[in-house]
Chains A and B, each alone.
Chain A
Amino acid sequence: MQQRSVKEKEPRLRSSTVALRLNNLGVEFPTALGNPVVAIRDLSLEIDHGTILGLVGESGAGKTTLARSLLNLPPVPGRITSGECIFDGTDLRKLSEGEQRKRRGRDLSIIVPNPRSELNPMITVGDQIATRAEIHLKIDRAEAQARALEMLKKVQIPDPVRRMKAYPHELSGGMAQRVVIAMALVCSPQFVISDDASSGLDVTVQAQILRLMRELAMEQQSAMLFITRDIGIAAHFCDQVAVMYAGEIVEIGTRENIFLRPRHPYTIMLMAAFSHNAGLRAQWRRPDDQAAPRNSQGACSYASRCPLAQEACRSDHPHLRELALGHQARCHFPVERL
């Protein structure tokens, strides 16, 4: 796998290989009293065709907000305050609502978690997939139904012909997840977002689903943003990994870089958390661990939880620095060696 370098704020000239570029995205949530909560701060990303970028972070880091903001539909009551989302040469945010709608589902699609609550309970699964094909690809009903059936076969649903007429409540979690994947991929989109798609499933089913998604994405040479809370899954599955904390990317690099040479204390803490070595776990967490703060403009947002925090960390907000080719971290004192 070729190494690709990812830099913040610099315009890339190789736009033909870049599927989606996000520049300086900012999203905030207004509150009743007090200032708005900044959910995502000045975030930039680039994903090339045929690669999978993993985005790892804990609950509340802003992952789902990011996923939906890419489609210009942040969760209510969020508001996008800045940034460009450039797909296929055009900034999505500048398009008309109708144009945006056309691209959603056809060029950019999203695989959602909790599939059974996201599917319309009164329409058969087959019809739901076929509708998306019919509308986006402008084909007739019969052809759309055929495509839907084909997708169901591709996602390896058992007995696909019968399942076409099934309703969402009749499916198990794993099957419903496959259906959602089928829906997301039926129009062969160039960019797929998978928002925590495997989290509610059994471990064995998880593995199958992940393999499936990767195969299908590679088959169509789509770019994929794979969002997860589990850094271990990102390790097995993604070409590049970005670690997100408190609305910012704190480390980003290729799979080898991140897992062989993690530099940011938070990344290390995430990996240590899965380790069997209790001493290692204890080393990288502080005893008074709490949720991510927001609005910490004058400091590193991780400073309050970082066991290696120093004076500079509390007074200066760090920027993403390139530490090696294709490897960036947002830390004043990145870890040299474990």
Chain B
Amino acid sequence: MKLRTSPPFVLLAAVVLVVVTACSPGSASGGGGGDPKAFEFWSMSGIDQQRSVDQYVEKHPDIKVGLTEVGSSQETAQALTTALAGGKVPDLVLIQGDELPKFLEQPQNFHDLREFGADEIKGDYLDWVMAQATAEGGEIIGIPTDVGGLAVAYRTDLFAAAGLPTDRDEVSALWPTWDDFIATGQRYVAATGKPFVDNVPTSVFYQAVNQVSQKYYDDAGNPIYADNPEVKEAFDIALRAIDAGISAKFSYASEGWNAALPRGDYAVVSAPSWMLNSFTRIAPDTAGKWDIATIPGGAGNWGGSYLAIPARAANPEAAWNYIKEMQAPERQLSHFLDVGTLPTTPAVYDDPRLVEATEPFFSDAPIGKIYTQAVLGLQPFHMGPDTGTIGSEFLNALVDVEQAGGDPATAWDRAVGNIRTAIGQ
């Protein structure tokens, strides 16, 4: 008997071989694999994380950083979850503040950064920001990269055309409260016939609801979203703004929002510090036509992110070295000077480079001064595991009223009902 090697078996074997060889390099290893000089880094898109990475690699030419911009903050968190659930994890991941509480519930999925000496540096960061990255058992799972702060970006040329003042102090004086903001919007719409603000749900509700003393949870961690009068008030302000007809109805970062920004199809956007960079990228031709005023209703924060190291990271040391170096106060300051994201390290808030920082795109507005004022007077509130979900359900109810003709009278009840269904309490 003779064993025949038949062509199809050769072919099959070849296919299998190709499969295995084409896929195996790096496939089994998480992140940088065995190479201690390399690490994998997942970030959100649209915030130009590449710039920081490039700077780091320039200083450490022997280090290789594999940066992946996964998508929106929600998508990044989802990708991280599926990764934690099985398979490859990055060595370093950027998590948006609203998504963090969910991960904080399961601290065993991450390195407790105290292993690397996070205790020694945690005093550098704002207390309340640090507290939001600390689990119940005291594990520190994230180091904050930035906070949002609140402010309003507006088009000076469009304001002038509408007969409104254009100077940032005068504009700030137009709207000490949200109702004044709505009234200003109505003046603008009456004068120009064009919408005033990009959209109400993010530019009004997400700002107002972050200017509270307690948000969706009380200080003991019990959910109070349904009964908290401060949240209800923020929601009602948003409903009044929608009713006033001042909105261009472009959801933030939607295709329409991006297309409308350079066209001047709206004149005002509530812009935390991390949003400034996208203005310069989307609408470079409108440089100098923008300016920044203070937010109605007082101090507050929207957004800000944290860097964390998954427990199964292949190269946690390299990731920590990156965190330690790039998030040091001095580096946060220089990142701010580059792209405008506000540092989380109060030590630099008095630094003349920050205080005197101006942004030519926004008519030389003193962005350092404006945004630090917004976060320094801040009353921190407790965040719970479902803070992100609760926030997006409230947001969705308002988008429904604004863009899909939902009934404003029942919007609050529907939002609360949806939250109950979603989080089960």
* A, B: real partners: no
What is the interface of chain A, defined by CB distance below 8 A to chain B? Answer: none
Question: What residues of chain B have their CB less than 8 Å away from a CB belonging to chain A?
Answer: none
